[in-house]
Amino acid sequence: MAATTADARRPRPLALRAFRWSRRILLYLIVVGGSFVYMYPVFFMLRTSLTKESDLYVVPPIIVPLPPVWENYAIMWQNGPTWSWMKNSFIVVGFSVVAETITSVSVAYGFARTRFAARDKLFIGVLATMMLPGAVTLIPRWLIFHRLDMIDTLWPLLIPRLFGTPFYIFIMRQFFLTLPRELDDAARIDGASHLQILRKVVLPLSIPAIATIAVFSFMNRWNDFLEPLIYLLRTENLTLAVGLRFFVSRFGTEYHLLMAGAMLLIVPMIIAFFLAQKQFIRGIALTGIKG
Amino acid sequence: MASSSLSAKSGASLRAPPAPLSRWRAARKWLAAQEGWVFIFPWVVGFILLDLGPYIFALVISFLNWDVGRPPSFIGFRNYQAAFTDPLVGKSLWNTAYYTLFHVPGSTVIAFAVAGLLNQKVRGMPIWRTMYYIPSVTSGVGMALIWIWLFAPRGALNGMLGWFGIDGPRWLTSTTWAMPALIIMSFWGVGSSMVIFLAGLQGVPQHLYEAAEVDGGGWWAKVRHVTIPMMTPYIFLSLILGVIGSFQVVTQALLMTEGGPDNATLFILLYIWIMGWNAFKMGYAASISWILFAIIFAATIVQFLGARRWVYYEYQEPG
């Protein structure tokens, strides 16, 4: 650092300054340009969803469709039991976020802060379930829920969330390990139980990490496709992500309607992300997810 | 608690209390030491019911001729024999490997480059970061629907290629281009590795860069000799999870191509789904899922063994 500040005080030759400036401009161009490349599909979807069918292939392409064609959304909405798909998705996601977060935090606390003989051996089990392919359990789990007569209900999508999710347990444990132990020792001397330490000492310090796993949970459950696909059968029982699969065949090349459908799926995600963004980014930085 | 009986054999004898402690107090002390079980109890139950049990069950199923609705019968290794000679298993494994070979290195490099960019001092950075991350937030079905339209014969991508006088292919209905299309699309979903890399970059000690500068190292020397070595644990994690995820890709193919055209995008998990839930051959599907398991397991082990050569851990993990 010392070298650069000394540099800054000395008047620099014009050529060097021009070089620095052009490098800076190039950096801005790449960062901003790249972010537009990344957002392009989303802009494009929004635009198409508000465009008349006859304007889809107009050259030059219409950047902002005026007036916006809101009817696309009405037509799309009426093409399936969209309302009940929405409702099912919200039930699954709402339940999963709450259940997964609570159980994962509690289990992670057990692995990070309590001591018992088998603890570290069991944690290898957590790592194993994180690493091993879940594809193998797909068939037996389906057969078990089939035997329990739960196919075509939401139960197979809810029950597994009650036991903590390995990846979230891992993230929370890594985070808890970074909290100074003296905090709990102090509380312990005051006679606090583990549950009290978790609630009064550890949780208030863990909000960003908890927000992180809650966002992950929301994203994964909202976008989940394969599980609802195999467990849900009747059209009105589907979740939104699976229901929209019917739109692909129904709308064919009516891309303006397909994009209106995609908006239904994407807008709640973006809202959720923005609500939690600040905590989420901090949480990622703090948990220092690493091998 | 039922859990205390689980660990009855272990632990207690380790720290045998000195003489004056009564039996009762020793028991209470032992019980207090088992308090952790209460916290991890949900996971233990879930692990047995949802993981360990199903894995064992899946192994059993793979030796059965089990068409849903009919009583299963034991047929030994015949499911595996059939799988090894099934040309579609071979084809779908090849497709999955093809995807993995391009998707994993490609998205790691892109995520790394983007993270490097986003680690610069640029005004309005939170906005740019969010814009790079949004496509990953919306990954899955929503993104697949958008890309159906982007890859349409007269869609945006071919429109842009047209500016350069290139007559774009019919991406998703072309046996040659359907897989590259899915790979290209996957590069928009690099957000989560990007965020992990970004966290890692911010943890690289500044004094190492200064040392490199003192030694007269330019931009590339700093990347090559400081950033990349310090980031190897993150790159390794990203590769491991990337390969595991990539071998289990299914959503995009199911929505966008249904495995077609001519099985060009038939992924192994898609084939398992077709066998299990369209053909209802549960035993056969289970045997293929074990083949997939073996491949992912082997790939992970190989990567862990290889990691000793290139992954650099400066600090020991706490705990």
Query: Could you report the per-residue pLDDT of A258-268, keeping only the tens digit for each?
Result: 888 889 889 88
Domain containing A195 — which CATH number? Answer: 1.10.3720.10
A97 and A48, same domain (yes or no): no
Residues of chain A found within 8 Å of residue B296, distances taken between Cβ atoms: 132-133
Task: Please tell me the distance in Å from B217's CA to the nearest CA on chain A.
Answer: 13
pLDDT at A219 over 50: yes
pLDDT at A212 over 50: yes
Q: For B11, which of A117, A141, A284 is closest by C-beta distance?
A: A117
Q: Which residues are within 8 A (CB) of B66 and not within 5 positions of it... i.e. 6 or more apart?
A: B72, B281, B282, B283, B286
Contact status, residue A215 vs residue A272, Cβ threshold 8 Å: yes
Cα Dmax for chain A: 80
How many other CB atoms sit within 10 Å of the CB of residue B218?
10
Q: For A107, which of B39, B147, B250 is closest by C-beta distance?
A: B39
Does a structural domain hold residue A4? no
Q: For B233, which of A61, A226, A291 is closest by C-beta distance?
A: A291
The pLDDT tens digits of the residues spanning B264-282 come to 999 999 999 999 999 888 9
A58-72, A173-187, B151-165, B213-227: the lowest-pLDDT one: A58-72
A64 and A150, same domain (yes or no): no
* A144–chain B Cβ distance below 8 A for any pair: yes
Task: Name the residue in chain A with its Cα closest to that of B193.
Answer: A289
Q: Where are the alpha helices (DSSP H) in B119-190?
A: 125-137, 141-150, 156-163, 178-186
The pLDDT tens digits of the residues spanning A158-169 come to 999 999 899 899
d(CA B108, CA B113): 9
Residues of chain B found within 8 Å of residue A48, distances taken between Cβ atoms: 149
The pLDDT tens digits of the residues spanning B226-256 come to 888 888 888 998 899 899 999 999 988 998 8
Does a structural domain hold residue A279? yes
pLDDT at A291 over 60: no
Domain boundaries, chain B: 2-78, 81-310
Q: Which of B317, B38, B51, B316 is nearest to A109 (CA)?
A: B38
Q: Tell which of A74, A94, A116 closes a domain.
A: A74
Q: Which burial class, exposed, middle or buried, applies to A166 when counting CB atoms under 10 A from its CB (0-12, 13-18, 19+)?
A: buried
Q: What's chain B's average pLDDT?
A: 85
CA distances from B71 to A34, A255, B68, B81 (A): 57, 46, 8, 21
Q: For B130, which of A125, A163, A277 is closest by C-beta distance?
A: A277
Task: Name the residue in chain A with its Cα closest to that of B123.
Answer: A28
Judge: B203–A32 Cβ closer than 8 Å, yes or no: no
Q: What pLDDT does A10 receive?
A: 60
**Total number of domains in chain A:** 2
> Tokens standing for A57?
């292939």
Q: What pLDDT does A288 receive?
A: 52
Contact status, residue B297 vs residue A132, Cβ threshold 8 Å: yes
d(CA A229, CA A244): 11
Q: For B35, which of A114, A135, A141 is closest by C-beta distance?
A: A114
Task: Please tell me the distance in Å from B262's CA to the nearest CA on chain A.
Answer: 18
A135-139, A148-152, A282-286: the lowest-pLDDT one: A282-286
Q: What pLDDT does A12 receive?
A: 66
Q: What pLDDT does B260 receive?
A: 78
Mean pLDDT of B92-107: 95
Task: Name the residue in chain A with its Cα closest to that of B272.
Answer: A135
Judge: A143–B38 Cβ closer than 8 Å, yes or no: no
How does residue A87 score in pLDDT terms, banded at 50, 70 and 90? very high
Residue at token pair 């814009």: B131
Q: For A48, which of B149, B214, B277 is closest by C-beta distance?
A: B149
Q: Tell which of A56, A74, A92 closes a domain.
A: A74
Judge: B55–A137 Cβ closer than 8 Å, yes or no: yes
Q: Tell which of A39, A56, A74 closes a domain.
A: A74
d(CA B267, CA B275): 12
d(CA A171, CA B148): 34
A144 and A282, same domain (yes or no): yes
Does a structural domain hold residue A7? no
The pLDDT tens digits of the residues spanning B288-314 come to 999 999 999 999 999 999 888 888 876
How does residue B19 score in pLDDT terms, banded at 50, 70 and 90? low
Q: For B150, which of A44, A116, A277 is closest by C-beta distance?
A: A44
d(CA A133, CA B290): 10
The pLDDT tens digits of the residues spanning A35-46 come to 999 999 998 889
Q: What pLDDT does A140 receive?
A: 93
**Domain B81-310 coded CATH 1.10.1060.10:** no
* A196–chain B Cβ distance below 8 A for any pair: no
Judge: A136–B293 Cβ closer than 8 Å, yes or no: yes
Judge: B117–A30 Cβ closer than 8 Å, yes or no: yes
Residues of chain B found within 8 Å of residue A114, distances taken between Cβ atoms: 35-36, 39
Judge: A117–B130 Cβ closer than 8 Å, yes or no: no
Amino acid at A156: P
Mean pLDDT of A12-26: 83
* A79–chain B Cβ distance below 8 A for any pair: no
Q: For A136, which of B45, B141, B289 is closest by C-beta distance?
A: B289
Q: Residue A29: which domain range? A: 12-74
* Best mutation target, B29, B89, B149, B150, to test chain A (most A CBs within 10 A): B149
How does residue B105 score in pLDDT terms, banded at 50, 70 and 90? very high
Judge: B140–A241 Cβ closer than 8 Å, yes or no: yes
Judge: B58–A266 Cβ closer than 8 Å, yes or no: no
The pLDDT tens digits of the residues spanning B58-78 come to 999 999 988 877 788 888 889
A125 and A40, same domain (yes or no): no
A116 and A173, same domain (yes or no): yes
A169 and A125, same domain (yes or no): yes
Question: What kind and span of H or E run contains B65?
Answer: strand B64-65
Judge: B292–A137 Cβ closer than 8 Å, yes or no: no
Phi, psi of B65 (to 5 degrees): -95, 95
A114 and A228, same domain (yes or no): yes
Q: Which of A237, A248, A220, A234 is nearest to A85 (CA)?
A: A237
d(CA B292, CA B97): 11
By residue count, chain B amounts to 319
Task: Please tell me the distance in Å from B200's CA to the nearest CA on chain A.
Answer: 7
ipTM of the predicted structure?
A: 0.84
Amino acid at A221: R
* A288–chain B Cβ distance below 8 A for any pair: yes
pLDDT at A251 over 90: no
How far from chain centre, in Å, is Cα A100?
13
Contact status, residue A92 vs residue A161, Cβ threshold 8 Å: no
Q: What's chain A's average pLDDT?
A: 85
* A148–chain B Cβ distance below 8 A for any pair: no
Q: For B233, which of A112, A245, A290 is closest by C-beta distance?
A: A290
Contact status, residue A224 vs residue B248, Cβ threshold 8 Å: no
Question: pTM (2 decimals)?
Answer: 0.85
Residues of chain A found within 8 Å of residue B154, distances taken between Cβ atoms: 57
Percent of chain A with pLDDT over 70: 93
* A105–chain B Cβ distance below 8 A for any pair: no
* Best mutation target, B14, B38, B40, B93, to test chain A (most A CBs within 10 A): B40
Contact status, residue B150 vs residue A44, Cβ threshold 8 Å: yes
Task: Please tell me the distance in Å from B20's CA to the nearest CA on chain A.
Answer: 23
